[in-house]
Amino acid sequence: MEHITQIMKMDGEPFKRIIGTTKPVFTQMLAILQLAYDQLHQNGGKPPSLSVGDKLLITLQYYREYRTMEHIAVGYGCSKSSVHRSVV
């Protein structure tokens, strides 16, 4: 299960405390990133190991919580290099 699915079930203050922004702003960021991703990959390619939503969550966690990339990678079941590509 994607982490984004769990996070989007939250509302109000708990959402803002965990993510660092309000749900409408987060939804807007996600829509912009999804549009850019779809345009970039319209000709196909290898399926990503992480969804656009999870990549956004990883980036926000990295900058907000100062977690190491290794720690985030374990939580998402991916490699450190996948986390690095998401953040950079």
User: Could you tell me the pLDDT band of residue 3, with boundaries at 50, 70 and 90?
Assistant: confident
Name the residue ranges covered by the structural domains of the chain. 3-87
- Measured CA to CA, the distance from residue 41 to residue 21 in angstroms comes to 28
Nearest Cα residue to 83 out of 69, 71, 68, 66: 69
- What is this structure's pTM? 0.85
pLDDT in tens, 25-75: 999 999 999 999 999 888 887 888 889 999 999 999 899 888 899 999 999
